[in-house]
Structure 1
Amino acid sequence: MTTRNRVCLWYDHDAEAAAAFYAATFPDSTVEAVHHAPADYPSGRKGDVLLVLFTVAGIPCCGLNGGPVFRHSEAFSFQIATDDQAETDRYWDAIVGNGGAESACGWCCDRWGISWQITPRVLTEALAGGGAAAERAFTAMMSMGRIDVAAIEAAIRG
């Protein structure tokens, strides 16, 4: 079955490397196809990798090597739910350790400019629950880069 809808991510020239990294890092992630340009185009030549079809954590994507015209921003991000500190650390370290950058409140950016929210479920559940526990968890999160699960759990308890 052909996927009818994919998130299209614009890369300068290395969509294939990004897709391979995502497939190696996140479960339910694969590289399905690599398509080469049939002719020269403004930011590339015939035969260059033009499109990469891949899946990131179950989300179908298309990486387009369109050149340096457009840049990513935090207006788009992948949010990865984690079960514990070890899983949070594994994803965070993979992204930041592969040329990415840390940000605030569980956000980081990969080396291709894509933003990621590495979000422990305990935080999401606390925020969804509302009330004083949500406020305490939110306040604790606001002071963090990488989310500290134990600190969030302590904040929930009060």
Structure 2
Amino acid sequence: MPAKQKITPCLWFDGNAEEAMDFYMSIFKDSKILNKTNWGKEGGTREGSLLVATFQLAGQEYIALNGGPQFKFTEAISLSIDCSTQEEVDSLTEKLTAGGGEIRPCSWVKDKFGLSWQIVPSILPEMLRDKDQKKADRVMAAMMQMYKIDIQKLKDAYNQQ
């Protein structure tokens, strides 16, 4: 039996946690709701609606909390997604921005709930860590000009003579 995840991100929503979980689970494989707790009588008009749930996206656990309007997501925290192909970059960009999200510079996207995601091709960190600083600098310069990452353009910058 696998060990329980020690640190679990908690995502604060304003009454739409179930909608958000359904949206995210439609995008990522190996996703499911693990448990739900609904508001009791103390919830007033929220009685019976979702208070908190634990769910998995691609095997990673998260907590969704219907906490109310007091707090909003900011780009100060984002979820980074490792992508092995351009098709995966394209697909995740399209799916995560559907219904009102937006593409931001350097392949960051904000979904319709306001949560920020980094869509990162696996090859990008490898190129940025290259011992040849000129190669790494060319890749960084190319990436800084992009919204959705284009892996071939990164490779072209990396291999430029």
Classify the secondary structure of the residue corresponding to 1:134: helix
1:3 CA drift (Å) = 4.9
Return structure 1 stretches of 4+ with deviation > 6 angstroms.
Answer: none
- Unpaired runs of 5+ residues, structure 1, are none
Amino acid paired to 1:156: Y
Name the counterpart of 1:98: 99
In 2 relative to 1, CA 137–3 (structure 1 residues): closer, same or farther, beyond 3 Å? closer
In 2, Cα distance between the equivalents of 1:128 and 1:59? 26
Task: State the TM-score, normalized to the length of structure 2.
Answer: 0.90
Name the counterpart of 1:112: 113
In 1, Cα distance between the equivalents of 2:4 and 2:82? 27
Name the counterpart of 1:57: 58
CA contact (8 A) 1:16 1:34 kept: no
How many residue pairs get aligned? The number is 157
CA contact (8 A) 2:99 2:112 kept: yes
- Unpaired runs of 5+ residues, structure 2, are none
1:140 CA drift (Å) = 0.3
In 2, Cα distance between the equivalents of 1:2 and 1:8? 16
What pairs up with 1:9-158 in 2 under 5 angstroms?
9-41=11-43, 45-130=46-131, 131-158=133-160
CA contact (8 A) 1:13 1:67 kept: yes
Task: State the TM-score, normalized to the length of structure 1.
Answer: 0.91
Classify the secondary structure of the residue corresponding to 1:90: helix
1:4 CA drift (Å) = 4.8
In 2 relative to 1, CA 90–53 (structure 1 residues): closer, same or farther, beyond 3 Å? same
In 2, Cα distance between the equivalents of 1:39 and 1:134? 58
CA RMSD after TM alignment: 1.7
In 2, Cα distance between the equivalents of 1:2 and 1:102? 34
1:8 CA drift (Å) = 0.6
1:18 CA drift (Å) = 1.0
The alignment-based identity, stated in percent, is: 34
